[in-house]
Copies of this chain bind each other. A is one copy, B any other.
Amino acid sequence: MTQRGLLIVLSGPSGVGKGTVRKAIFEEESIDFQYSISATTRQPRAGEVDGEDYFFVTREQFEEKINNGDMLEYAKYVSNYYGTPKSFIDETLASGRDVFLEIDVQGALQVKSKMPEGIYIFLTLPDLANLRDRLVGRGTDSADVIEKRVAAARDELKMMINYDYAVENDVVSNAVERIKSIITAERLRVTRVFDKIQ
């Protein structure tokens, strides 16, 4: 029996550097993930390949997928749909290959509600701890600005609790190493090793 692949979800607040970290991960020689390909109703641009850049579908096809429960998450931007088809991920995992999905926080929570067995990694700004102390200590921000930044950090923490792991993106190569360690460790979980042996 083929051991099922891992679903790895990288998420985090906007501006934290998800895309940069994802690109760095895919440049690693030791890594062979399938990137989760989104479906969209927008027209392909020059050079874009169906089933590689996106699954290009009609509005009717997309809405059918929504109704069939085949969209792990979706959103509409500028009158076009964008979403993550479940069947593609399911088939890839069943073939034993790991799937990597980079997605915003709202999308990640939708995916988690449907695929809780995934590994949910929250990418976070460095030094979230002691933020107020550092800002006060630095002495460059007004009390008002400091409170706004602390409130934003608190919101970030509220999101974080929905994830399995929190990875600081201080230096991209460090973040990549941490994510690689998480994946190595997850593969060694007794529950997964047991599935493989049995």
Give the interface of A toward B (CB within 8 A): 122, 128-129, 157, 160-161, 163-167, 178, 180-182, 184-186, 188-190, 193-194, 196-197
Contacts and interface: CB of A to CB of B under 8 A. Distances in A.
A194 B129 contact: no
Contacts of A165: 185, 188-190
Q: Which of A160, A165, A196 has the most CB atoms of chain B within a 10 A radius of its CB?
A: A165
Q: Chain A contact residues: over half helix, strand or loop, or mixed?
A: helix
Contact of A181 (B161, B167, B184, B193): B184
B167 A188 contact: yes
What is the count of identical protomers in the complex?
Answer: 2
B197 A157 contact: yes
Nearest to A182: B185
B167 A178 contact: no
6 contacts: A122-B190, A166-B189, A166-B190, A181-B185, A184-B185, A185-B186
Contacts of A157: 194, 197
A1 to B, nearest CB: 10
Contacts of A181: 180-182, 184-185, 188
A29 B178 CA distance: 18
